Amino acid sequence: MKIISDIQELRDHLRGQNRASFVPTMGNLHEGHLSLMRLARQHGDPVVASIFVNRLQFGPNEDFDSYPRTMQADIEKLEKEGVYILFAPTERDLYPQPQEYRVDPPQQLGDILEGEFRPGFFKGVCTVVLKLFSCVQPKVAVFGKKDYQQLMIIRQMAKQFALPVEIIPGETIRAEDGLALSSRNGYLSAKERTEAPELLKALKEVRQRVLDLNVRDAISLSKIEQAAVASLAGRGWQPDYIAIRQQCDLAPASNENLEAGEPLVILTAAKLGKTRLIDNLEI
């Protein structure tokens, strides 16, 4: 595997390759990331991964400085997956000047859910992803459904800018007890780690209640959301949201959507101690 930090050197190595498939990450790689590398291999060749902890997408009180950086272990994992190039730029490589041009996703997608609780997050994500696409020029790029809203926003960005890249979704990989793998799981204490699977349980309970719902029942979807938030809070979590949304545009779901059998998704973010976890479940 070639490890490259310089944009020009990356371009030199990829010259003439028009089927590259790309998996951007922030490192501290786990099985979720590695599943995306395997998916990338099915859709293109060579596979290019990137590791870059992107300052632009972190808020001032977020964990940019403490975000786990485990480059040597990551390199070994990527080598085992047959990744051809690891693009691991420094901040000076990727942002030699302050990145003043940014990509601002539309409010109705970028300022809801994660965007409401992490202002500017998706602006930072879109900006770095567009720049990484410009560096790698992949034919396909793979993103995890674990970050459901991010996947949707990147897809829309690629569509609206007519980027010549196909966005492929990867399923969420979970620990045996159901907790979605995440680099931030490492922040959990042993006690919190045993509690953490309750987040998926809450999503499953919401899904069951939605499926059991008789659409003519007086109970609304927002009542189900509120009950789930209260139940997690009662267990000591600090939930930011549990939201039942339409899969197509993440707009709030209504009983009419339910009646029409439209695909829905339940998204959540909640803090356990100091660790903020996100997850989602499709209906």
Nearer to ligand AMP by Cβ, of 38 and 139: the residue is 38
Nearer to ligand AMP by Cβ, of 135 and 224: the residue is 135
Q: Enumerate residues 11-40 that contact ligand AMP by CB under 6 A.
A: 25-26, 32-33, 35-36
Nearer to ligand AMP by Cβ, of 128 and 229: the residue is 128
Q: Is 170 in the site for ligand AMP (CB under 6 A)?
A: yes
**What tokens does 190 get?**
């042993």
For residues 26 and 68, is the Cβ–Cβ distance under 8 A? Answer: no
Angstrom distance (rounded) from CA 49 to CA 239: 33
Cis peptide preceding 197, ω within 30 of 0: no
The contacts of residue 279 (CB under 8 Å, 6+ apart) are: 146, 172, 180, 199, 200, 203, 267, 268
Q: Enumerate residues 171-190 that contact ligand AMP by CB under 6 A.
A: 172-173, 180-183
Is 33 annotated as catalytic? yes
Q: Interface mask (CB under 6 A) for ligand AMP, residues 200-239, using x and -?
A: ----------------------------------------
Q: What is the DSSP string of 105-149?
A: --HHHHSSTHHHHSTTHHHHHHHHHHHHHHHH--SEEEEEGGGHH
Q: Is 47 in the site for ligand AMP (CB under 6 A)?
A: no
Task: Give the interface segment with ligand AMP, choosing from 90-98, 139-147, 203-211, 239-247 (CB under 6 A).
Answer: 139-147
Query: Could you tell me the smallest distance in angstroms from the CB atom of residue 216 to ligand AMP?
Result: 38
Sequence letter at residue 100: E
3-class DSSP state for residue 184?
helix
Q: Is 147 in the site for ligand AMP (CB under 6 A)?
A: yes
Among 37, 144, 264, 266, binds ligand AMP (CB under 6 A): 144
Query: Could you tell me the smallest distance in angstroms from the CB atom of residue 253 to ligand AMP?
Result: 22
Angstrom distance (rounded) from CA 223 to CA 262: 20
For residues 104 and 10, is the Cβ–Cβ distance under 8 A? Answer: no
Q: Is 146 in the site for ligand AMP (CB under 6 A)?
A: yes
Element (H, E) at 201: helix 198-212
Binding interface with ligand AMP (CB under 6 A): 25-26, 32-33, 35-36, 143-144, 146-147, 170, 172-173, 180-183
Active-site residue set:
33
